[in-house]
Amino acid sequence: MEDAGFIIGSYVVTFGAVATYAVWLARRARRVTRDLPDHAKPWT
Amino acid sequence: MIGEHVADTLATEPSAASDDVASSGTATRATRLLGAAALVGVAWLAAFGLGFSPADRDQRESVRILYVHVPSAWLAYLAFVVTAVASGLYLFRRSHALGWDRVAGASAEVGVLFMGITLVSGMLWGRLTWGVFWEWDARLTTTAFLFVTYVGYLAVRGLGGSHQQRARRSAVLALLAVLEIPLVHWSVRLWRSLHQEATVLRPDGDVKMDGLMLFTLFVGIVAFTLMYAWLVVHRQRTLAAEDAADDAGLDRALAARRAEVG
């Protein structure tokens, strides 16, 4: 059914985009904070 | 000073919570709980949006796309309003705390993501309902313009200069860009539009929606709000770390130059 492809596609695009951004963000955060001293990371 | 502290340590928990924090990354116990809650919300949204909620009398099954389309649009609006408020707090408070600038930048970036999702999911819904992916309709055109404006905002943030220069110019832009949101929201009333008018936030307060459909939409709003909060907290912390790394690099370069001269 044509409708199912569009409907499921909209959910895949939505959660896929958020998940891709979240993974990119987590990897970038790990890379950037690796060499920083603790005082530069006020959340720790 | 309180505002500066809040902005610099957005969602920072008490030190007791940091015992199990990894040495790298921006996660804490609270953000892990937030992320888990967001995942539960997403699972609920998928179950209700794709399964339990009924088909619409007129739109039939395509109404299920609206359970991701509408929350993403609302969260994009919220993200851009947060960007403007944080920019105002940076610009008009005497401390000019860079933490507010980072909140603004983080929120705008997540807002662009949600606005992009709004456009794509809206195109898929439009193809099923109108028979076309895109029409140069007032709502669609103003939404696309809002998206491009905030992509431009992010580009301006990436220009060179000091952190304070970046914060000042992007804050001014954010305060101007947010004025587009009422235009986008009211475009369906200001001009003849293919896009339907509001179903929930109606001026007469009469919600024209089935109970289970309304509940599913509510689940979507909660799930997207949790995702937004998780993403903004992590992005704000990453921006703070990037700024600190920039400063450390500049300090090292200055020290090396002084050593050469000396």
Between chain A and chain B, the number of residue pairs with CB atoms below 8 A apart is 113
Q: In this predicted structure, what is the pLDDT of residue B201?
A: 67
With cut-offs at 50, 70 and 90, classify the pLDDT of residue B10. Answer: low
| Shortest Cα–Cα distance, B204 to chain A (Å) | 31
Closest partner residue to B227 (CB to CB) among A18, A29, A34 is A18
Q: In this predicted structure, what is the pLDDT of residue A1?
A: 56
Question: What pLDDT, in 10s, does the model give residues B194-224?
Answer: 777 766 666 676 767 778 899 999 999 999 9
| Shortest Cα–Cα distance, B196 to chain A (Å) | 19
Question: B251 CB near a chain A CB, below 8 Å?
Answer: no
Whose CA is closest to B235, among A15, A1, A43? Answer: A43
Q: In this predicted structure, what is the pLDDT of residue B228?
A: 97
Grouping H, G, I as helix, E, B as strand and the rest as coil, residue B199 is coil
B57 pLDDT higher than 70: yes
* Maximum distance among all Cα pairs of chain B, rounded to whole angstroms: 80
Question: What pLDDT, in 10s, does the model give residues B12-42?
Answer: 443 433 434 444 688 889 999 999 999 999 9
For residue B56, with 0-12 CB atoms within 10 Å meaning exposed, 13-18 middle and 19 or more buried, which class applies?
middle
Q: In this predicted structure, what is the pLDDT of residue B16?
A: 39
The predicted model gives A10-35 an average pLDDT of 94
Question: What pLDDT, in 10s, does the model give residues B172-185?
Answer: 999 999 999 999 98
Closest partner residue to B117 (CB to CB) among A7, A14, A29 is A14
Amino acid present at B138: A
Higher local confidence (pLDDT), B200 or B171: B171
8 Å CB contact of B65 and A3: no
For residue B248, with 0-12 CB atoms within 10 Å meaning exposed, 13-18 middle and 19 or more buried, which class applies?
middle
The predicted model gives A6-35 an average pLDDT of 94
B166 pLDDT higher than 80: yes
List chain B residues with CB under 8 Å of A24: none
Higher local confidence (pLDDT), B245 or B252: B245
Whose CA is closest to A38, among B7, B238, B241? Answer: B241
8 Å CB contact of B72 and A14: yes
Q: Residues of chain A whose C-beta is under 8 A from some C-beta in B?
A: 3-4, 6-11, 13-15, 17-18, 21-22, 25-26, 28-30, 32-36, 40-44
| Shortest Cα–Cα distance, A42 to chain B (Å) | 6
The predicted model gives B41-68 an average pLDDT of 90
d(CA B164, CA B170): 10
Query: Nearest residue on chain A to B59, judged by CA atoms?
Result: A3
Question: B33 CB near a chain A CB, below 8 Å?
Answer: no
Question: What pLDDT, in 10s, does the model give residues B111-160?
Answer: 999 999 999 999 999 999 999 999 998 899 999 999 999 999 999 999 98
List chain B residues with CB under 8 Å of A15: 42, 46
Closest partner residue to B244 (CB to CB) among A25, A29, A36 is A36
Question: B127 CB near a chain A CB, below 8 Å?
Answer: yes
d(CA A33, CA B169): 27
CA dihedral of residues B99, B102, B108, B114 (deg, nearest 10)? -100
% of chain B surpassing 90 pLDDT:
62
Q: In this predicted structure, what is the pLDDT of residue B19?
A: 39
Closest partner residue to B65 (CB to CB) among A10, A28, A41 is A10
Average pLDDT along chain B: 87
Q: Domain locations in chain B?
A: 29-198+211-243
Question: B28 CB near a chain A CB, below 8 Å?
Answer: yes
Question: What pLDDT, in 10s, does the model give residues B67-125?
Answer: 999 999 999 999 999 999 999 999 999 888 999 999 999 999 999 999 999 999 999 99
Q: Tell which B residues from 54 to 73 touch A, by Cβ distance under 8 Å.
A: 60-62, 64-65, 68-69, 72
B237 pLDDT higher than 60: yes
Residues forming a β-bridge with B56 = B60
Q: In this predicted structure, what is the pLDDT of residue B61?
A: 87
CA distances B128 to A3, A8, A36, B132, B141, Å, are: 7, 13, 50, 8, 19
A41 pLDDT higher than 90: no
Q: Is B192 left (phi over 0), alpha (psi -120 to 50) or beta?
A: beta
Query: Nearest residue on chain A to B15, judged by CA atoms?
Result: A44
With cut-offs at 50, 70 and 90, classify the pLDDT of residue A39. Answer: confident
Residue B11 burial (CB count, 10 A): 17
Higher local confidence (pLDDT), B9 or B85: B85
